[in-house]
Amino acid sequence: MDKTDAKIPTRVLPGFMELLPAEQIVLNSMFDTIRRIYEQYGFVPIDTPVIERAEVLFAKVGGETAKQVYRFTKGDNDLALRFDLTVPLARYVAEHAVELTFPFRRYHLGKVYRGESPQKGRYREFYQCDIDIIGNGSLSLMNDAEIPRVIYDVFTALNIGPFVVRLSNRKLITGLMESLGISELAVEAMRVIDKFEKVGETDTRQMLVELGIVDALIAEVFGFLAINGQTQEVIGKLKALSVDNQVFQLGIAELEEVIKLLASLGMPEDSYGIDLTIARGLDYYTGTVYETVLKDNPKIGSICSGGRFDNLAEKYTVRKLPGVGISIGLTRLFSQLKDAGLLKIGASTPTKVLIASLLRDPSVSLEIATMLRTAGIPVEIYFEEAKVKTKLVYANRLGIPFVIFVGEDEIRSGLFTVKNMGTGEQVAIAKAELSSYIGKEVHY
Amino acid sequence: MDKTDAKIPTRVLPGFMELLPAEQIVLNSMFDTIRRIYEQYGFVPIDTPVIERAEVLFAKVGGETAKQVYRFTKGDNDLALRFDLTVPLARYVAEHAVELTFPFRRYHLGKVYRGESPQKGRYREFYQCDIDIIGNGSLSLMNDAEIPRVIYDVFTALNIGPFVVRLSNRKLITGLMESLGISELAVEAMRVIDKFEKVGETDTRQMLVELGIVDALIAEVFGFLAINGQTQEVIGKLKALSVDNQVFQLGIAELEEVIKLLASLGMPEDSYGIDLTIARGLDYYTGTVYETVLKDNPKIGSICSGGRFDNLAEKYTVRKLPGVGISIGLTRLFSQLKDAGLLKIGASTPTKVLIASLLRDPSVSLEIATMLRTAGIPVEIYFEEAKVKTKLVYANRLGIPFVIFVGEDEIRSGLFTVKNMGTGEQVAIAKAELSSYIGKEVHY
């Protein structure tokens, strides 16, 4: 091919994330942490196709998201890329219900696709890390309490600063609307209330007016939304409202029970709280709802959200499958932590030892590499012909902590020079001791 | 929604794999093993978008594969799903060349898409697990020897039976064709020869005739393909052919050098061999080529293939980027191992302990669960109201090895009954000893 040919652009498409190795290693370790904690709570991995039949996805999507779906045909098939991991879960559980054991606790880490207009913090391809517990017919409220505890363990292990899991229960707003005689507006009102924290009281009021809610009733809604304080205090104030509605009272009872269980689960008091402005935009939540915010970076918004739903898969099966779950949008979270300078970016490689040979014959280098790898230590050999300095620059640029030199002197004496790239210190170590010496120095 | 509504079909599309949890756990552990070994050799993780600009993909694809690409538009964008991980690597390296350090050793585990006609063992969505080493301008032949050693470690760790990595060098066929004066047919002939093992001598001869190669020359080609035996024997026979062509002689020299290095790398002799019928269908290989077969299941075909290429990214950059790499098609491999009964399918959950409470108050169960999880043991609590028998059936179906009972007697005495689900044995263990008792019994 002619070298002067115009080259094809290699930039990733807008709204797609592509990381350099040092960042990718950090992201991967976040995945590992999330997976480890999810498995510690007995969640089971599943993996579903990224491509689904369009009719499967469009049965469970509406509004803005429907427009964002990547849809296309191949042969006779009307296809689409999944836009979340909940719809594939619904299809999976409906399809495999006979083979699964309930309650079915599944986790799923995977990419999803939404053709949103590209803007900061919005991605067209992004990872979700979901857990859900699905019951067959019914599901204990205790599961609603376990979800925040899992999330507590995840974010504690991720070590990205103090956070708080905020809870509410959708039955409160649903019941309140019923008691006010405007239950037909509940779904729309929920969407408005969900944006309360973001847009403030004035705009929220305006939007409620536009829904056709009269001032007197809006005052009642704001009276409810204004309730805050410690969890017991909030429960007390909710009871004191004396709303004459069964759904509302059930909402209080559920919230109170979940809060009580959170204490039994050992959640520190400052790691959770009730926030009645949480409604979640999605229609399908019917009980407990969650959001999670970083205390020192509230502007990032919720980093982990979810809730309880009555019926996961009604479009696909006659089985009643209630559930509760939560999702971490890891691509967005990673990007925002990066922008906020909260990520510790380290080495660009898993390699802990670079072997720099001064000889043409690589056999001793290969032997040492195999010995170290057998001990579980990630090792590479610099195979290219180059000056020692070039090899050290390579180790330095990648963040490899140790270099072992293999030269004639080393082979003759049986003592190999090990250079600590952090301190510059060099020590001579017998071949048989190399694995234990390096093993003590590095964590791998 | 009306329960009598027709339900939407939930079966996955033909050519897509979806596993039940017990199988998914096995597949995930294969991924973990592959990743661990790749990292032990200092390969660096990357992750690229599944969606690429169509022009990026179509610059590097032709023939059958081009027809199989999933291509679609969204807004003004002409898009396509990646069909392998090599083209995205080429784009990635071209895009980030200035920020990367060479030689660039990357691994990539990810899904790729090909709309093939569905048939047994062919998937439209499948995982590839690739490693490649990319040089900037040049790349030592030692890398060609390291690749089979990595693959040896991977398949040894996967423990799927004895295997052999077969090697050849494309310069041999290229040089032979040159020496026969038919170098313009080399690429086509290579495709024919690549199918030699599958279709046999008669059909291969017929296809070579159709390419316009005369009988006398076909005899020379078959003379070459007939060479086999131990590696040194093959090298000797190749030299004895005395083909008067520089490329051919360079092919012998490279193959001999790689074979010599494999011994230095500690590859057992029965784990590799030369097979001159390996040509690989793809145009871009220019030197060493690899295939890997299971000795006891040769019908599965190559489970891991790759080779050396001169220039990875000529469509995207003026840099010359030679490389060598290999790919494991894990979805196909998994499916074939499953069909051959070679997979050990175990539990349907990572959970090692199920806590079965006999009380309404879950607080002691929650406390024990947290204690065990802190010790790293995956635990779940059976939260639903159910008979003890139902809880034991649940543990049994999922393959959870231990059940701890929490009842009034246990709380009073401080001794908790631990049931070993494998043996049926029950022992009473003090609360403080539960973690160490379970920890000794299970591997997690």
Q: Across the interface, which of A39, A49, A376 has its CB nearest the CB of B16?
A: A49
Residue A61 sits at the chain B interface (C-beta within 8 Å): no
Residue B5 pLDDT class (50, 70, 90 cuts) = low
The tokens 């190749």 sit on which residue?
A: B238
3-state secondary structure B273-327: EECCCCCCCCCCEEEEEEEEEECCCHHHCCCCEEEEECCCCCCCCCCCCCEEEEE
Cα–Cα dist A363/A214, whole Å: 85
**A383 CA: distance to closest CA in chain B (Å):** 6
pLDDT digits (tens, 9 = 90+) for A8-27: 999 999 999 999 999 999 99
- Per-residue b/e over A204-236, b at no fewer than 16 CB within 10 Å? bbebbeeeebeeebbebbeebbebeeebeebbe
All residues of chain B having their beta carbon less than 8 Å from the beta carbon of residue A20 are 96, 99-100
Q: With CB atoms and an 8 Å threshold, state whether B13 touches A79.
A: yes
Nearest CA in chain B to A377: B40
Average pLDDT, chain B: 93
The tokens 């980030």 sit on which residue?
A: B96
- pLDDT at position A118 is 74
How far are the Cα atoms of A350, A376, B192 from residue A398, in angstroms, in the given order? 9, 20, 43
pLDDT digits (tens, 9 = 90+) for A128-182: 999 999 999 999 999 999 999 999 999 999 999 999 999 999 999 999 999 999 9
What pairing do the DSSP bridges indicate for beta strands B125-134 and B104-113? Answer: antiparallel
pLDDT digits (tens, 9 = 90+) for A45-94: 999 999 999 999 998 887 788 899 999 999 889 999 999 999 999 999 99
Residue A443 pLDDT class (50, 70, 90 cuts) = low
Nearest CA in chain A to B115: A74
Residue B14 sits at the chain A interface (C-beta within 8 Å): no
All residues of chain B having their beta carbon less than 8 Å from the beta carbon of residue A71 are 72
Q: With CB atoms and an 8 Å threshold, state whether A44 touches B9.
A: no
Nearest CA in chain A to B146: A366
Q: Which of B193-197, B203-207, B265-269, B428-432 has the highest mean pLDDT?
A: B428-432
**B304 CA: distance to closest CA in chain A (Å):** 22
All residues of chain B having their beta carbon less than 8 Å from the beta carbon of residue A27 are 47
Note which residues in 65-84 of chain B have CB less than 8 A from chain A: 70-72, 74-75, 77, 79
- Stronger pLDDT, A4 or B127, i.e. the higher one: B127
Q: What does pTM read for this prediction?
A: 0.96
Beta carbons of A396 and A349 less than 8 angstroms apart: no
**A36 CA: distance to closest CA in chain B (Å):** 9
Residue B140 sits at the chain A interface (C-beta within 8 Å): yes
How far are the Cα atoms of A358, B115, B139, B430 from residue A361, in angstroms, in the given order? 9, 47, 17, 60
Nearest CA in chain B to A139: B384
Average pLDDT score over residue span A204-222: 91
Cα–Cα dist B4/B125, whole Å: 34
Nearest CA in chain A to B32: A32
Structure tokens at A2: 């002619």
Q: Is the ipTM of this complex over 0.85?
A: yes
Which of A2, A11, A18, A308 is best to mutate for the B interface (most B CBs within 10 A)?
A: A18
Q: In the CATH hierarchy, which fold is given to the domain comprising B353-441?
A: Rossmann fold (3.40.50)
Which of A5, A13, A51 is best to mutate for the B interface (most B CBs within 10 A)?
A: A51
Note which residues in 333-352 of chain B have CB less than 8 A from chain A: 348-351
Q: How many CB pairs under 8 A join A and B?
A: 257
| Burial of B219 from C-beta contacts in 10 A (0-12 / 13-18 / 19+) | exposed
- pLDDT at position A75 is 86
3-state secondary structure B129-193: EEEEEECCCCCCCHHHHHHHHHHHHHHHHHCCCCEEEEEEEHHHHHHHHHHCCCHHHHHHHHHHH
- pLDDT at position A305 is 95
Task: Give Cα A64 to chain centroid, integer Å.
Answer: 22
Q: With CB atoms and an 8 Å threshold, state whether B18 touches A48.
A: yes
Q: Across the interface, which of B75, B124, B366 has its CB nearest the CB of A265?
A: B366
| Burial of A184 from C-beta contacts in 10 A (0-12 / 13-18 / 19+) | exposed
Note which residues in 399-418 of chain A have CB less than 8 A from chain B: none
How far are the Cα atoms of A222, B24, B300 from residue B338, in angstroms, in the given order? 60, 12, 12
Average pLDDT score over residue span A209-220: 91
Q: What are phi and psi of A79, to 5 degrees?
A: -120, 165
Q: Percent of chain A at pLDDT above 90? A: 84
All residues of chain B having their beta carbon less than 8 Å from the beta carbon of residue A100 are 20-21
Q: With CB atoms and an 8 Å threshold, state whether B40 touches A376.
A: yes
Note which residues in 199-238 of chain A have CB less than 8 A from chain B: none
3-state secondary structure of B352: coil
- pLDDT at position A186 is 84
Q: In the CATH hierarchy, which fold is given to the domain comprising B21-339?
A: BirA Bifunctional Protein; domain 2 (3.30.930)
Average pLDDT score over residue span B75-101: 95
pLDDT digits (tens, 9 = 90+) for B238-253: 999 999 999 999 999 9
Task: Give Cα A376 to chain centroid, integer Å.
Answer: 29
Residue B116 pLDDT class (50, 70, 90 cuts) = confident
How far are the Cα atoms of B66, B80, B91, B95, B322 from residue A7, in angstroms, in the given order? 20, 19, 11, 11, 18
Q: Percent of chain B at pLDDT above 70? A: 98
pLDDT digits (tens, 9 = 90+) for B35-66: 999 999 999 999 999 999 999 999 888 778 88
**B279 CA: distance to closest CA in chain A (Å):** 23
**A56 CA: distance to closest CA in chain B (Å):** 7
Domain boundaries, chain B: 21-339, 353-441
pLDDT digits (tens, 9 = 90+) for B370-389: 999 999 999 999 999 999 99
Q: Across the interface, which of B39, B46, B370 has its CB nearest the CB of A350?
A: B39
Structure tokens at A261: 């269980």
- pLDDT at position B2 is 46
How far are the Cα atoms of A64, B64, B263 from residue A130, in angstroms, in the given order? 22, 37, 47
Does B45 sit behind a cis peptide bond, omega within 30 degrees of 0 on the bond before it? no
Q: How many CB atoms lie within 10 A of CB A332?
A: 19
3-state secondary structure chain A: CCCCCCCCCCCCCCCCCCCCHHHHHHHHHHHHHHHHHHHHCCCEECCCCCEEEHHHHHCCCCHHHHHHCCEEEECCEEEEECCCCHHHHHHHHHHHCCCCCCCEEEEEEEEEECCCCCCCCCCCEEEEEEEEEECCCCCCCHHHHHHHHHHHHHHHHHCCCCEEEEEEEHHHHHHHHHHCCCHHHHHHHHHHHHCHHHHHHHHHHHHHHHCCCCHHHHHHHHHHHCCCCCHHHHHHHHHHCCCCCHHHHHHHHHHHHHHHHHHHCCCCHHHEEECCCCCCCCCCEEEEEEEEEECCCHHHCCCCEEEEECCCCCCCCCCCCCEEEEEEEHHHHHHHHHHCCCCCCCCCCCCCEEEEECCCCCHHHHHHHHHHHHCCCCEEECCCCCCHHHHHHHHHHHCCCEEEEECHHHHHHCEEEEEECCCCCEEEEEHHHHHHHHHHHCCC
Average pLDDT, chain A: 93
**A226 CA: distance to closest CA in chain B (Å):** 32
The reply to whether B353-441 shares the fold of B21-339 is: no
Which of B384, B390, B435 is best to mutate for the A interface (most A CBs within 10 A)?
A: B384
Q: With CB atoms and an 8 Å threshold, state whether B350 touches A39.
A: yes
Is residue A3 scored above 60 in pLDDT?
no
The tokens 């906020």 sit on which residue?
A: A340
3-state secondary structure of B260: helix
How far are the Cα atoms of A372, B165, B166 from residue B291, in angstroms, in the given order? 27, 6, 5
Residue B142 sits at the chain A interface (C-beta within 8 Å): yes
Average pLDDT score over residue span A193-216: 89
Q: With CB atoms and an 8 Å threshold, state whether A48 touches B315.
A: no
Residue A11 sits at the chain B interface (C-beta within 8 Å): yes
What pairing do the DSSP bridges indicate for beta strands A104-113 and A125-134? Answer: antiparallel
All residues of chain A having their beta carbon less than 8 Å from the beta carbon of residue B74 are 70, 115
Structure-derived torsion over alpha carbons of residues B335, A110, B394, A254, reported in degrees to the nearest 10: -170
pLDDT digits (tens, 9 = 90+) for B300-359: 889 999 999 999 999 999 999 999 999 999 999 999 999 999 999 999 999 999 999 999
Average pLDDT score over residue span A241-268: 95
**A19 CA: distance to closest CA in chain B (Å):** 7
**B203 CA: distance to closest CA in chain A (Å):** 32
- pLDDT at position B1 is 43
Structure tokens at B326: 């290999």
Terminal C-alpha separation, chain B? 44
The tokens 């010599």 sit on which residue?
A: B260
Structure tokens at B177: 């064709």
Cα–Cα dist A365/A403, whole Å: 12
**B100 CA: distance to closest CA in chain A (Å):** 8
Q: With CB atoms and an 8 Å threshold, state whether B79 touches A3.
A: no
